[in-house]
Amino acid sequence: MNPVSQDTTSADRATSLLATTMPPLPSRLPGVGTTIFSVMSALAAETGAVNLGQGFPDFDCDPRLVDAVSHAMSAGLNQYAPMTGVPALRQAIAAKLQSLYGRAYDAEREITVTAGATQAILTALLALVHPGDEVIVLDPCYDSYVPGIALAGGTAVRVPLQPGSFRPDFDRIAAALTPRTRALIVNTPHNPSGTVWREADMLRLQELLAPTGVWLISDEVYEHMVFDGQLHASAARHPGLAERALIVSSFGKTYHVTGWKVGYVAAPAALSAEFRKVHQFNVFSVNTPVQHGLAQHLADPQPYLELPAFYQRKRELFRAGLGATRLRLLPCEGSYFQCVDYRDLALPERELPEAAFCEWLTREIGVAAIPLSAFYGDGFEQGVVRLCFAKRDETLQAALERLARL
Protein backbone atom coordinates (compact mmCIF):
# COMPACT_ATOMS: atom_id res chain seq x y z
CA MET A 1 0.00 0.00 0.00
CA ASN A 2 1.18 3.51 -0.77
CA PRO A 3 2.50 5.03 2.54
CA VAL A 4 0.70 8.28 1.81
CA SER A 5 -2.60 6.46 1.31
CA GLN A 6 -2.04 4.50 4.53
CA ASP A 7 -1.35 7.72 6.47
CA THR A 8 -4.43 9.34 4.97
CA THR A 9 -6.60 6.38 5.93
CA SER A 10 -5.26 6.47 9.48
CA ALA A 11 -5.97 10.18 9.70
CA ASP A 12 -9.52 9.66 8.43
CA ARG A 13 -10.10 6.94 11.03
CA ALA A 14 -8.78 9.20 13.79
CA THR A 15 -11.04 12.03 12.64
CA SER A 16 -14.02 9.68 12.52
CA LEU A 17 -13.25 8.36 16.01
CA LEU A 18 -12.92 11.90 17.32
CA ALA A 19 -16.27 12.81 15.81
CA THR A 20 -17.99 9.91 17.52
CA THR A 21 -16.38 10.31 20.96
CA MET A 22 -16.34 14.09 21.44
CA PRO A 23 -19.45 15.83 22.74
CA PRO A 24 -21.17 18.49 20.60
CA LEU A 25 -19.53 21.91 20.78
CA PRO A 26 -22.11 24.52 21.77
CA SER A 27 -21.39 27.87 20.13
CA ARG A 28 -20.65 30.93 22.24
CA LEU A 29 -22.18 32.99 19.42
CA PRO A 30 -24.82 30.76 17.80
CA GLY A 31 -26.46 33.58 15.88
CA VAL A 32 -23.27 34.94 14.34
CA GLY A 33 -22.09 34.07 10.84
CA THR A 34 -19.93 35.77 8.24
CA THR A 35 -20.30 39.54 8.50
CA ILE A 36 -22.00 41.51 5.75
CA PHE A 37 -18.75 43.45 5.30
CA SER A 38 -16.85 40.30 4.32
CA VAL A 39 -19.72 39.14 2.10
CA MET A 40 -19.95 42.41 0.17
CA SER A 41 -16.17 42.81 -0.14
CA ALA A 42 -15.91 39.28 -1.56
CA LEU A 43 -18.73 40.02 -4.01
CA ALA A 44 -17.04 43.28 -5.04
CA ALA A 45 -13.80 41.40 -5.72
CA GLU A 46 -15.64 38.69 -7.65
CA THR A 47 -17.51 41.14 -9.88
CA GLY A 48 -14.89 43.88 -10.22
CA ALA A 49 -17.15 46.39 -8.50
CA VAL A 50 -15.88 49.57 -6.85
CA ASN A 51 -15.91 48.67 -3.16
CA LEU A 52 -17.58 51.46 -1.19
CA GLY A 53 -18.88 48.95 1.31
CA GLN A 54 -16.16 48.19 3.83
CA GLY A 55 -14.93 51.23 5.75
CA PHE A 56 -11.25 51.59 4.99
CA PRO A 57 -9.19 54.05 2.89
CA ASP A 58 -7.65 53.01 -0.41
CA PHE A 59 -4.94 55.67 -0.14
CA ASP A 60 -1.64 55.69 1.71
CA CYS A 61 -0.88 57.20 5.08
CA ASP A 62 1.60 60.02 5.67
CA PRO A 63 5.04 58.69 4.63
CA ARG A 64 6.53 60.36 7.71
CA LEU A 65 4.57 57.93 9.87
CA VAL A 66 5.94 54.94 7.95
CA ASP A 67 9.44 56.39 8.31
CA ALA A 68 8.96 56.80 12.07
CA VAL A 69 7.86 53.18 12.45
CA SER A 70 10.69 51.95 10.22
CA HIS A 71 13.18 53.95 12.26
CA ALA A 72 11.87 52.38 15.46
CA MET A 73 12.31 48.92 13.97
CA SER A 74 15.83 49.72 12.79
CA ALA A 75 16.66 51.09 16.22
CA GLY A 76 15.88 47.70 17.75
CA LEU A 77 12.55 48.61 19.39
CA ASN A 78 11.07 45.23 18.55
CA GLN A 79 10.45 43.49 21.87
CA TYR A 80 7.40 43.55 24.13
CA ALA A 81 6.08 46.97 24.98
CA PRO A 82 4.77 47.63 28.48
CA MET A 83 1.33 46.09 28.94
CA THR A 84 -0.31 49.51 29.22
CA GLY A 85 1.52 50.98 26.22
CA VAL A 86 4.77 52.75 25.42
CA PRO A 87 5.09 55.65 27.91
CA ALA A 88 5.86 58.23 25.21
CA LEU A 89 2.67 57.30 23.33
CA ARG A 90 0.49 57.38 26.43
CA GLN A 91 1.90 60.80 27.31
CA ALA A 92 1.20 62.06 23.79
CA ILE A 93 -2.38 60.76 23.98
CA ALA A 94 -2.94 62.43 27.33
CA ALA A 95 -1.57 65.73 25.99
CA LYS A 96 -3.86 65.51 22.96
CA LEU A 97 -6.95 64.82 25.07
CA GLN A 98 -6.22 67.74 27.37
CA SER A 99 -5.56 70.07 24.46
CA LEU A 100 -8.73 69.12 22.58
CA TYR A 101 -11.22 68.36 25.34
CA GLY A 102 -9.83 69.96 28.50
CA ARG A 103 -9.64 66.71 30.50
CA ALA A 104 -6.35 65.93 32.26
CA TYR A 105 -5.81 62.17 32.08
CA ASP A 106 -2.89 60.64 33.97
CA ALA A 107 -0.77 58.97 31.29
CA GLU A 108 0.52 56.35 33.72
CA ARG A 109 -2.78 55.27 35.28
CA GLU A 110 -5.56 56.36 32.90
CA ILE A 111 -4.41 55.73 29.31
CA THR A 112 -4.12 52.21 27.85
CA VAL A 113 -2.96 51.41 24.33
CA THR A 114 -5.02 48.67 22.66
CA ALA A 115 -4.93 46.44 19.59
CA GLY A 116 -7.48 48.61 17.83
CA ALA A 117 -10.87 49.91 18.94
CA THR A 118 -12.75 46.62 18.55
CA GLN A 119 -10.43 44.95 21.07
CA ALA A 120 -10.82 47.95 23.35
CA ILE A 121 -14.62 47.67 23.28
CA LEU A 122 -14.61 43.91 23.89
CA THR A 123 -12.11 44.30 26.74
CA ALA A 124 -14.26 47.04 28.28
CA LEU A 125 -17.31 44.78 28.15
CA LEU A 126 -15.44 41.82 29.64
CA ALA A 127 -14.16 44.07 32.43
CA LEU A 128 -17.53 45.63 33.27
CA VAL A 129 -20.26 43.14 32.48
CA HIS A 130 -21.27 40.11 34.54
CA PRO A 131 -23.85 37.41 33.77
CA GLY A 132 -27.31 38.86 34.15
CA ASP A 133 -26.23 42.45 33.48
CA GLU A 134 -27.84 44.51 30.74
CA VAL A 135 -26.02 46.79 28.32
CA ILE A 136 -27.92 49.38 26.30
CA VAL A 137 -26.94 49.77 22.65
CA LEU A 138 -28.46 52.29 20.26
CA ASP A 139 -29.69 50.78 17.00
CA PRO A 140 -28.35 50.89 14.35
CA CYS A 141 -24.97 50.07 15.87
CA TYR A 142 -21.55 48.72 14.96
CA ASP A 143 -21.68 44.97 14.61
CA SER A 144 -19.15 44.06 17.33
CA TYR A 145 -21.12 45.52 20.25
CA VAL A 146 -23.77 42.87 20.73
CA PRO A 147 -21.50 39.81 20.30
CA GLY A 148 -19.11 41.38 22.83
CA ILE A 149 -21.96 41.76 25.32
CA ALA A 150 -22.92 38.12 24.77
CA LEU A 151 -19.34 36.94 25.29
CA ALA A 152 -19.31 38.80 28.61
CA GLY A 153 -22.49 37.00 29.66
CA GLY A 154 -24.66 40.11 29.47
CA THR A 155 -27.86 40.93 27.65
CA ALA A 156 -28.03 43.61 24.98
CA VAL A 157 -30.96 45.98 25.28
CA ARG A 158 -31.49 47.61 21.91
CA VAL A 159 -32.91 51.12 21.91
CA PRO A 160 -33.57 52.56 18.43
CA LEU A 161 -32.26 55.93 17.40
CA GLN A 162 -34.90 58.16 15.88
CA PRO A 163 -35.77 56.84 12.38
CA GLY A 164 -34.52 59.07 9.59
CA SER A 165 -32.51 61.47 11.76
CA PHE A 166 -30.64 58.82 13.79
CA ARG A 167 -30.64 61.15 16.78
CA PRO A 168 -30.81 59.78 20.33
CA ASP A 169 -34.26 59.29 21.82
CA PHE A 170 -33.62 60.07 25.47
CA ASP A 171 -37.10 59.15 26.58
CA ARG A 172 -36.60 55.64 25.26
CA ILE A 173 -33.08 55.45 26.72
CA ALA A 174 -34.47 56.50 30.11
CA ALA A 175 -37.20 53.87 29.86
CA ALA A 176 -34.57 51.18 29.13
CA LEU A 177 -32.55 51.95 32.28
CA THR A 178 -33.21 49.36 34.99
CA PRO A 179 -31.40 48.16 38.13
CA ARG A 180 -29.79 45.53 35.89
CA THR A 181 -28.29 48.10 33.49
CA ARG A 182 -24.52 47.88 33.77
CA ALA A 183 -23.39 50.00 30.83
CA LEU A 184 -24.46 52.08 27.85
CA ILE A 185 -22.56 52.26 24.55
CA VAL A 186 -22.70 55.47 22.53
CA ASN A 187 -20.96 56.23 19.24
CA THR A 188 -20.33 59.69 17.81
CA PRO A 189 -19.67 60.43 15.00
CA HIS A 190 -21.97 57.54 14.27
CA ASN A 191 -21.32 54.49 12.15
CA PRO A 192 -23.34 53.80 10.01
CA SER A 193 -25.42 56.99 9.75
CA GLY A 194 -22.80 59.78 9.91
CA THR A 195 -24.85 61.56 12.59
CA VAL A 196 -22.96 63.64 15.17
CA TRP A 197 -24.12 64.13 18.73
CA ARG A 198 -24.43 67.76 19.85
CA GLU A 199 -23.24 69.30 23.08
CA ALA A 200 -26.86 69.37 24.23
CA ASP A 201 -27.09 65.61 23.67
CA MET A 202 -24.09 64.96 25.90
CA LEU A 203 -25.46 67.23 28.60
CA ARG A 204 -28.80 65.39 28.48
CA LEU A 205 -26.96 62.07 28.70
CA GLN A 206 -24.95 63.33 31.67
CA GLU A 207 -28.17 64.38 33.40
CA LEU A 208 -29.81 61.05 32.65
CA LEU A 209 -26.94 58.94 34.00
CA ALA A 210 -26.16 61.13 37.04
CA PRO A 211 -28.39 59.27 39.52
CA THR A 212 -27.35 55.82 38.22
CA GLY A 213 -24.36 53.53 38.54
CA VAL A 214 -24.28 52.92 34.79
CA TRP A 215 -20.89 52.91 33.07
CA LEU A 216 -20.43 54.57 29.69
CA ILE A 217 -18.47 53.13 26.76
CA SER A 218 -17.97 56.05 24.39
CA ASP A 219 -16.90 54.91 20.92
CA GLU A 220 -15.21 57.97 19.43
CA VAL A 221 -13.12 56.43 16.67
CA TYR A 222 -14.26 59.07 14.14
CA GLU A 223 -13.54 61.96 16.53
CA HIS A 224 -11.51 63.87 13.92
CA MET A 225 -14.12 63.58 11.17
CA VAL A 226 -16.70 66.18 12.20
CA PHE A 227 -17.80 68.61 9.50
CA ASP A 228 -19.18 72.11 8.95
CA GLY A 229 -17.31 73.68 11.85
CA GLN A 230 -18.91 71.52 14.54
CA LEU A 231 -16.91 70.38 17.55
CA HIS A 232 -16.64 66.73 18.45
CA ALA A 233 -18.81 66.18 21.53
CA SER A 234 -16.44 63.92 23.43
CA ALA A 235 -17.51 62.43 26.74
CA ALA A 236 -14.17 63.76 28.02
CA ARG A 237 -15.56 67.31 27.85
CA HIS A 238 -18.10 66.61 30.61
CA PRO A 239 -16.92 65.66 34.11
CA GLY A 240 -20.14 63.80 34.91
CA LEU A 241 -19.61 61.56 31.88
CA ALA A 242 -15.82 61.33 31.98
CA GLU A 243 -15.85 59.99 35.54
CA ARG A 244 -17.87 56.94 34.41
CA ALA A 245 -16.59 56.58 30.83
CA LEU A 246 -14.17 54.42 28.93
CA ILE A 247 -13.42 56.58 25.88
CA VAL A 248 -12.27 54.60 22.84
CA SER A 249 -10.39 55.94 19.83
CA SER A 250 -8.46 54.54 16.87
CA PHE A 251 -5.19 55.51 15.25
CA GLY A 252 -6.21 53.34 12.30
CA LYS A 253 -9.08 55.71 11.52
CA THR A 254 -7.16 58.90 12.31
CA TYR A 255 -4.01 58.12 10.32
CA HIS A 256 -5.43 55.94 7.48
CA VAL A 257 -3.74 52.76 8.80
CA THR A 258 -6.66 50.50 9.68
CA GLY A 259 -4.50 47.40 9.21
CA TRP A 260 -2.14 48.40 12.02
CA LYS A 261 -4.91 47.84 14.59
CA VAL A 262 -3.78 50.28 17.27
CA GLY A 263 -6.14 52.34 19.42
CA TYR A 264 -6.50 53.44 23.00
CA VAL A 265 -8.82 53.78 25.96
CA ALA A 266 -8.93 56.75 28.33
CA ALA A 267 -10.68 56.15 31.65
CA PRO A 268 -10.44 57.09 35.34
CA ALA A 269 -7.75 55.20 37.25
CA ALA A 270 -10.04 52.73 39.05
CA LEU A 271 -11.86 51.91 35.81
CA SER A 272 -8.57 51.63 33.91
CA ALA A 273 -7.26 49.21 36.54
CA GLU A 274 -10.18 46.84 35.89
CA PHE A 275 -9.83 47.28 32.13
CA ARG A 276 -6.12 46.41 32.33
CA LYS A 277 -6.80 43.22 34.28
CA VAL A 278 -8.58 41.87 31.22
CA HIS A 279 -6.35 43.58 28.64
CA GLN A 280 -3.22 41.87 29.95
CA PHE A 281 -4.70 38.43 29.32
CA ASN A 282 -6.32 38.91 25.92
CA VAL A 283 -3.62 41.03 24.27
CA PHE A 284 -0.95 41.80 26.87
CA SER A 285 0.82 44.39 24.76
CA VAL A 286 0.56 46.07 21.37
CA ASN A 287 3.01 46.31 18.45
CA THR A 288 6.08 48.07 19.83
CA PRO A 289 7.65 49.86 16.83
CA VAL A 290 4.25 51.10 15.67
CA GLN A 291 3.65 52.61 19.11
CA HIS A 292 6.97 54.45 18.99
CA GLY A 293 6.21 55.69 15.48
CA LEU A 294 2.78 56.92 16.53
CA ALA A 295 4.24 58.70 19.56
CA GLN A 296 6.60 60.61 17.29
CA HIS A 297 3.85 61.40 14.77
CA LEU A 298 1.48 62.69 17.46
CA ALA A 299 3.99 65.39 18.38
CA ASP A 300 2.66 67.31 15.38
CA PRO A 301 -1.10 67.89 15.77
CA GLN A 302 -1.63 69.15 12.22
CA PRO A 303 -2.39 65.77 10.62
CA TYR A 304 -5.42 65.18 12.84
CA LEU A 305 -6.41 68.84 13.02
CA GLU A 306 -6.56 68.93 9.21
CA LEU A 307 -8.63 65.74 8.98
CA PRO A 308 -12.09 67.40 9.13
CA ALA A 309 -11.31 69.55 6.08
CA PHE A 310 -9.70 66.60 4.28
CA TYR A 311 -12.78 64.41 4.61
CA GLN A 312 -15.27 67.24 4.20
CA ARG A 313 -13.83 67.89 0.75
CA LYS A 314 -14.30 64.22 -0.13
CA ARG A 315 -17.82 64.32 1.26
CA GLU A 316 -18.67 67.33 -0.94
CA LEU A 317 -17.18 65.72 -4.05
CA PHE A 318 -19.13 62.54 -3.41
CA ARG A 319 -22.42 64.22 -2.51
CA ALA A 320 -22.23 66.45 -5.59
CA GLY A 321 -21.90 63.40 -7.80
CA LEU A 322 -24.66 61.51 -6.02
CA GLY A 323 -26.91 64.53 -6.51
CA ALA A 324 -27.08 63.62 -10.20
CA THR A 325 -28.70 60.28 -9.38
CA ARG A 326 -32.12 59.34 -8.05
CA LEU A 327 -30.60 58.31 -4.73
CA ARG A 328 -31.81 60.54 -1.91
CA LEU A 329 -28.95 61.82 0.24
CA LEU A 330 -29.27 61.61 4.01
CA PRO A 331 -27.32 64.15 6.10
CA CYS A 332 -23.67 63.37 6.75
CA GLU A 333 -22.34 65.36 9.70
CA GLY A 334 -19.29 63.24 10.46
CA SER A 335 -17.41 59.95 9.90
CA TYR A 336 -16.58 58.89 6.33
CA PHE A 337 -19.93 57.29 5.54
CA GLN A 338 -22.75 58.56 3.38
CA CYS A 339 -26.19 56.96 3.63
CA VAL A 340 -28.62 57.08 0.72
CA ASP A 341 -32.29 56.18 0.34
CA TYR A 342 -32.96 54.24 -2.88
CA ARG A 343 -36.78 54.21 -2.74
CA ASP A 344 -37.08 56.84 -5.48
CA LEU A 345 -35.54 54.51 -8.05
CA ALA A 346 -37.60 52.79 -10.70
CA LEU A 347 -39.35 49.49 -10.10
CA PRO A 348 -38.45 46.76 -9.29
CA GLU A 349 -35.17 47.90 -7.68
CA ARG A 350 -36.82 50.35 -5.27
CA GLU A 351 -38.83 47.53 -3.70
CA LEU A 352 -35.87 45.24 -3.08
CA PRO A 353 -34.88 44.57 0.54
CA GLU A 354 -31.66 46.36 1.43
CA ALA A 355 -29.37 43.31 1.25
CA ALA A 356 -30.83 42.28 -2.10
CA PHE A 357 -30.50 45.84 -3.37
CA CYS A 358 -26.81 45.90 -2.38
CA GLU A 359 -26.23 42.65 -4.25
CA TRP A 360 -28.04 44.06 -7.30
CA LEU A 361 -26.05 47.29 -7.07
CA THR A 362 -22.79 45.36 -6.91
CA ARG A 363 -23.55 42.98 -9.77
CA GLU A 364 -25.48 45.25 -12.13
CA ILE A 365 -24.12 48.74 -11.43
CA GLY A 366 -20.63 47.79 -10.24
CA VAL A 367 -20.59 49.55 -6.84
CA ALA A 368 -20.63 47.73 -3.50
CA ALA A 369 -22.55 49.15 -0.54
CA ILE A 370 -23.73 47.93 2.88
CA PRO A 371 -27.41 47.54 3.85
CA LEU A 372 -28.33 49.58 6.91
CA SER A 373 -30.54 46.71 8.06
CA ALA A 374 -27.33 44.80 8.92
CA PHE A 375 -26.75 47.22 11.81
CA TYR A 376 -30.16 46.52 13.42
CA GLY A 377 -30.95 43.61 15.69
CA ASP A 378 -34.28 43.00 13.96
CA GLY A 379 -33.05 43.73 10.44
CA PHE A 380 -35.20 46.88 10.25
CA GLU A 381 -35.78 47.84 6.61
CA GLN A 382 -36.02 51.47 5.49
CA GLY A 383 -34.61 51.44 1.97
CA VAL A 384 -31.23 52.87 3.04
CA VAL A 385 -27.68 51.72 2.30
CA ARG A 386 -24.28 52.97 3.45
CA LEU A 387 -21.43 54.06 1.16
CA CYS A 388 -17.85 54.84 2.25
CA PHE A 389 -16.11 57.90 0.80
CA ALA A 390 -12.70 57.31 2.42
CA LYS A 391 -11.33 56.68 -1.06
CA ARG A 392 -9.05 58.32 -3.60
CA ASP A 393 -10.80 60.90 -5.75
CA GLU A 394 -10.39 58.68 -8.80
CA THR A 395 -12.06 55.79 -6.96
CA LEU A 396 -14.99 58.03 -6.04
CA GLN A 397 -15.25 59.34 -9.59
CA ALA A 398 -15.25 55.80 -10.98
CA ALA A 399 -18.05 54.87 -8.58
CA LEU A 400 -20.01 58.01 -9.44
CA GLU A 401 -19.77 57.32 -13.15
CA ARG A 402 -21.40 53.93 -12.55
CA LEU A 403 -23.98 55.27 -10.10
CA ALA A 404 -24.99 57.91 -12.67
CA ARG A 405 -26.93 55.10 -14.38
CA LEU A 406 -29.38 55.11 -11.48
Instruction: Report yes or no on 364 lying in a domain.
Output: yes
Domain boundary among 260, 278, 300: 300
Q: Are 40 and 355 in contact (CB under 8 A)?
A: no
Domain boundary among 300, 333, 357: 300
Mean pLDDT, the chain cut into blocks of 10 residues (406 residues total): 51 63 87 87 96 95 98 98 98 98 98 98 98 98 97 98 95 98 98 98 98 98 98 98 98 97 98 98 97 98 98 98 97 98 96 98 98 96 98 98 96
Same domain (yes/no): 336, 376: yes
Predicted pLDDT of residue 9 = 65
Query: Which residues constitute the domain of residue 351?
Result: 36-55+305-403
Instruction: Report yes or no on 108 lying in a domain.
Output: yes
For residue 237, CA distances in Å to 65, 127, 172 come to 29, 24, 24
Predicted pLDDT of residue 5 = 47
How many structural domains is the chain composed of? 2
Instruction: Report yes or no on 251 lying in a domain.
Output: yes
Predicted pLDDT of residue 34 = 81
Same domain (yes/no): 120, 259: yes
How far the first Cα of the chain sits from its last, in Å, is: 63
Domain boundary among 300, 315, 345: 300
CATH number for the domain that contains residue 253: 3.40.640.10
Same domain (yes/no): 41, 87: no
CATH number for the domain that contains residue 387: 3.90.1150.10
Instruction: Report yes or no on 176 lying in a domain.
Output: yes
Same domain (yes/no): 309, 273: no
Same domain (yes/no): 41, 165: no
Q: Please, is 297 exposed, middle or buried when counting C-beta atoms within 10 Å of its C-beta (0-12, 13-18, 19+)?
A: buried
Instruction: Report yes or no on 214 lying in a domain.
Output: yes
Instruction: Report yes or no on 139 lying in a domain.
Output: yes
CA 341/CA 325 separation, integer angstroms: 11
Instruction: Report yes or no on 223 lying in a domain.
Output: yes
Same domain (yes/no): 47, 108: no
Same domain (yes/no): 129, 236: yes
Same domain (yes/no): 134, 233: yes
Same domain (yes/no): 379, 332: yes
How many other C-beta atoms can be found within 10 angstroms of the C-beta atom of residue 173?
20
Same domain (yes/no): 245, 361: no
Instruction: Report yes or no on 2 lying in a domain.
Output: no
Same domain (yes/no): 118, 203: yes
pTM, rounded to two decimals: 0.94
Same domain (yes/no): 253, 310: no
Angle at 226 between CA 222 and CA 228, to 5 degrees: 165
How do strand 370-371 and strand 111-114 relate by DSSP bridges? unpaired
CA 88/CA 295 separation, integer angstroms: 6
